[in-house]
């Protein structure tokens, strides 16, 4: 019997770590669905790159803050999959989309905090909840956290604390979904050179030097350092890993 090609959905797959993860997942032989918030052109480029690898790929617009839109989004994805694969299901959900907030505790506003909770926790929680009926048994959830959930740097109180919440949530998903052989794991990148936070790790020499100086491997991270870790978790080789946090930071603050 022919086995169905596995499918991964990566939120925020148009740029940075999501883009790199989507491409590395496709290189492992999976078909990929990505989402983008506003940057359709970048998303289309990722789709072309994945299709050039011989894999199927499609991009959808999704604001992961907009929880009310999730039901329609999942229905749209399901309709597309049913038409093309005879099943509405995906195999892996990668909750990657996100934005930065650097602000000292004294200056954080309620709006900023709500925004970060919505994107980095509530959105992750409800997208996962609503997708669970459509994740095949034996599949997986991969949540992207941050080194900042383990160590504290001034200005990242909100972001780091919410990512820490996502790490605990991941253990609960692993526990509650274990009976369906669904794995849930966290990948926690260190500071990586993407557009994140205005591209400051990449473009601000002082920040880049600071990161390099406290990193065992002696440099800031690159998207290529992360995507392969996420892709590995979308393979059978990772089938016995669940409820775990894998930090890919080159050894920041060891």
Ligand X SMILES: NC(=O)c1ccc[n+]([C@@H]2O[C@H](COP(=O)([O-])OP(=O)(O)OC[C@H]3O[C@@H](n4cnc5c(N)ncnc54)[C@H](OP(=O)(O)O)[C@@H]3O)[C@@H](O)[C@H]2O)c1
Q: Catalytic residue positions? A: 159
Nearer to ligand X, 29 or 121 (CB): 121
Taking CB under 6 A as the criterion, the residue among 14, 156, 215, 242 binding ligand X is 14
17 touches 192 (CB < 8 A):
yes
- Can you tell me the distance from the alpha carbon of 38 to that of 35, in angstroms, rounded to the nearest whole number? 9
* CB nearer to ligand X: pick between 10 and 174: 10
Binding span for ligand X by CB under 6 A among 24-32, 83-91, 192-200, 227-235: 192-200
Give whichever of 136 and 203 is closer to ligand X, judged by the CB atom.
203
Under rule CB under 6 A, residue 227 binds ligand X:
no
E-strand spans in the chain? 7-10, 31-36, 57-61, 90-95, 135-144, 183-189, 245-248
- Which tokens is 9 given? 């959905």
The secondary structure element, H or E, covering residue 231 is helix 227-233
| 236-246 burial code (b ≥16 CB/10 A, e <16) | eebeeebebeb
Q: What share of the chain is helix, strand, coil (3-state, %, to 5)?
A: 50, 20, 30
Residue 12 in the binding site for ligand X (CB under 6 A): yes
Q: Which of 70, 73, 134, 196 binds ligand X (CB under 6 A)?
A: 196
Single residue of 63, 80, 219, 235 touching ligand X by CB under 6 A: 63
Q: Does 215 bind ligand X (CB under 6 A)?
A: no
* Interacting residues with ligand X (CB under 6 A): 11-12, 14-18, 36-39, 42, 62-65, 96-99, 119, 144, 146, 189, 191-192, 194-196, 201
């Amino acid at each position: 019997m022919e086995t169905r090609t596995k499918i991964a959905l990566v939120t925020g797959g148009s740029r940075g770590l999501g883009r790199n993860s989507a491409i590395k997942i496709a290189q492992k032989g999976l078909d990929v669905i990505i989402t983008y918030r506003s940057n359709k052109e970048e998303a289309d480029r990722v789709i072309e790159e994945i299709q050039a690898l011989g894999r199927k790929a499609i991009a959808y617009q999704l604001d992961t803050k907009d929880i009310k839109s999730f039901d329609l989004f999942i229905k749209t994805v399901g309709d597309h999959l049913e038409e093309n694969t005879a099943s509405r299901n995906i195999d892996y959900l990668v909750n990657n989309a996100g934005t930065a907030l650097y602000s000292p505790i004294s200056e954080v506003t309620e709006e900023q905090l709500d925004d970060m909770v919505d994107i980095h926790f509530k959105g992750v929680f409800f997208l996962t909840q609503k997708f669970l009926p459509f994740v095949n048994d034996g599949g997986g959830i991969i949540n992207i956290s941050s080194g900042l959930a383990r160590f504290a740097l001034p200005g990242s109180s909100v972001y780091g604390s919410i990512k820490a919440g996502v790490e605990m949530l991941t253990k609960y998903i692993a526990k509650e979904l274990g009976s369906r052989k669904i794995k849930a794991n966290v990948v926690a990148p260190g500071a990586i050179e993407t557009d994140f936070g205005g591209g400051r790790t990449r473009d601000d020499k002082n920040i880049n030097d600071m990161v390099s100086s406290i990193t065992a491997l002696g440099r800031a991270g690159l998207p290529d350092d992360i995507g392969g870790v996420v892709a590995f978790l979308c393979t059978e080789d990772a089938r016995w890993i669940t409820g775990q946090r894998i930090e890919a930071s080159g050894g920041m603050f060891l």
